Amino acid sequence: MDEKILAIVKAHALWAAGRGGRPADLTGAELRRLDFAKRVLREAKFVRADCEAATFRGADLSQTDFFGANLANSNLEGANLTGANLRGVNLYGALLDGANLTGADLRGGTAINYETGKAFGAKVSNLSKGRFDAATLAGAQLNGVNLEGSSFVGANLKGANFGGADLRHVDFSEADLSGTNLRDSQLSGALLVDANLENADLTNAKVKGATFQGATMTGARLDGVDRGDSDLDGAPVSADDRVTVEISVDQVLGDHEAWVASAGSKGARGDLSDRAMKGLNVAGRDLSGMAFRDADLSGADLSACRLMLCDFSGAQLTKAILNGADASGATFIGADLRGAQLRDMTLGAVPIKAAGGGATGRVKAPTFAGALMAGVDLAGSDTAACGDLQGA
């Protein structure tokens, strides 16, 4: 890093700690490809700075002002961007896995550089092709933003504002979109597989070709929705009759296997989320598509199981045995896999079907964003499809 920039960053860290120094003002600075990983930069100014391909991984950027900045292809994984001003930014292709953008403002915005008389920023912020998997954007302002082709797998988007946003072909699989504003948004071709859309407002949204398989839509507003050839009609939109008596684990497993064997005509899709199942032995069983969110499966034997498209988000899998299992397309976001055995596993990508069962040309790969992987044994497993496994 340039010595002058480094001095500014260090002085800012002292200021942020209340030990003198001075706040950083990097307005208009050339910061391409610089490494700010884990730096304390809260409340710093990066207005119209060129930060293309820069690294801010794990940095404290809370309340930081990035108005009109170029952050294309930057790495912001795990960064704290709470309350940040990201109006008019270019985040094309940026990585924000696990970042916290609670309350951040990502709307479009332009201003005049009085030194040059030229405008900067963008009327529509460009966040297309970005990756926000497992990120937190609760209450974020994203109305009118271009997010085409971005990924929000497993993200927390509670109460976010996507009004009028371009969400074409965005992957919201397993994301929490409860209470979000999606009015007038473009959701054509979007994936909302197993997403939570409770009390979301989709008034006048365009959802042609979108996939809502397994989505929860209790209380969602769908007035004027252009459904096109989406599968929205198959998603539950009214309050469901939830079973209040907890069904035994064995019964859930049996009903699920009947559901799998009959292609959904018998039994019921299994959900063992939040259950305590230490040491459970289900070796060799077909559990494809089951939910184990936040379940305790420490020491469980899942060897040789079919675990395709299973959801283990937040699950406790310490010292679990998954040797020889097929976990293609499964989700392990935030799971604790420390000391687990994952030898000779199949970790491929699963084709995503469109509404009506046709091919989309897209796939769902296994996701390990934010997972704890210390001491995991992956010998013999092909992890080529797991793009985020290296960062787990």
Cα 308 off chain centre by: 19
| Mean pLDDT score, 22-31 | 95
pLDDT band at 247 (very low <50, low <70, confident <90, very high): low
pLDDT band at 240 (very low <50, low <70, confident <90, very high): very low
- pTM summary value: 0.57
Res. 124: pLDDT tops 80:
no
Res. 26: pLDDT tops 90:
yes
Which of 150-164, 173-187, 375-389 is the least confident region? 375-389
The pLDDT value recorded for residue 391 is: 42
Regarding predicted confidence, which is higher, 111 or 189?
A: 189
Residues 6+ apart with CB under 8 A from 352: 191, 193, 211, 360, 362, 363, 364
CA-only gyration radius of the chain, Å: 22
Average pLDDT, the chain: 87
Percent of the chain with pLDDT over 70: 87
Q: What is the pLDDT of residues 126-161, one digit of tens each?
A: 888 888 988 899 888 888 889 999 999 999 999 999
The pLDDT value recorded for residue 312 is: 94
What is the spatial distance between Cα 46 and Cα 110, in angstroms, rounded to a whole number? 15
pLDDT band at 111 (very low <50, low <70, confident <90, very high): low
* 248 neighbors 227 (Cβ within 8 angstroms): no
What is the spatial distance between Cα 110 and Cα 119, in angstroms, rounded to a whole number? 7
The pLDDT value recorded for residue 112 is: 56
pLDDT band at 120 (very low <50, low <70, confident <90, very high): low
Q: What is the pLDDT of residues 303-347, one digit of tens each?
A: 999 999 999 999 999 999 999 999 999 999 999 999 999 999 999
Task: Give, in words, the CATH class of 243-392.
Answer: mainly beta
CA distances from 3 to 6, 8, 21, 217 (A): 5, 9, 16, 53
Cα 188 off chain centre by: 19
What is the spatial distance between Cα 331 and Cα 328, in angstroms, rounded to a whole number? 9
Res. 234: pLDDT tops 80:
no
**In three state form, how does the secondary structure of the chain look?**
CCHHHHHHHHHHHHHHCCCCCCCCECCCCECCCCECCCCECCCCECCCCECCCCECCCCECCCCECCCCECCCCECCCCECCCCECCCCECCCCECCCCECCCCECCCEEEEECCCCEEEEECCCECCCCECCCCECCCCECCCCECCCCECCCCECCCCECCCCECCCCECCCCECCCCECCCCECCCCECCCCECCCCECCCCECCCCECCCCECCCCECCCCECCCCCHHHCCCCCCCCCCCCCCHHHHHHHHHHHHHCCCCCCCCCECCCCECCCCECCCCECCCCECCCCECCCCECCCCECCCCECCCCECCCCECCCCECCCCECCCCECCCCECCCCECCCEEEECCCCCEEEEEECCECCCCECCCCECCCCECCCCCCHHHC
Burial class from Cβ neighbours inside 10 Å (0-12, 13-18, 19+) for residue 203 reads middle
What is the spatial distance between Cα 75 and Cα 285, in angstroms, rounded to a whole number? 40
Q: What is the pLDDT of residues 255-277, one digit of tens each?
A: 899 888 888 778 888 889 889 99
The pLDDT value recorded for residue 351 is: 84
Q: What is the pLDDT of residues 219-229, one digit of tens each?
A: 888 888 876 66
Res. 353: pLDDT tops 80:
no
* 384 neighbors 365 (Cβ within 8 angstroms): no
Percent of the chain with pLDDT over 90: 60
The pLDDT value recorded for residue 151 is: 93
| Mean pLDDT score, 30-50 | 95
pLDDT band at 45 (very low <50, low <70, confident <90, very high): very high
Spans of all domains in the chain = 243-392
pLDDT band at 241 (very low <50, low <70, confident <90, very high): very low
| Mean pLDDT score, 289-308 | 94
Token digits for 33? 């490809």
Res. 236: pLDDT tops 80:
no
The pLDDT value recorded for residue 386 is: 84
pLDDT band at 206 (very low <50, low <70, confident <90, very high): very high
* 387 neighbors 364 (Cβ within 8 angstroms): no
The pLDDT value recorded for residue 172 is: 95
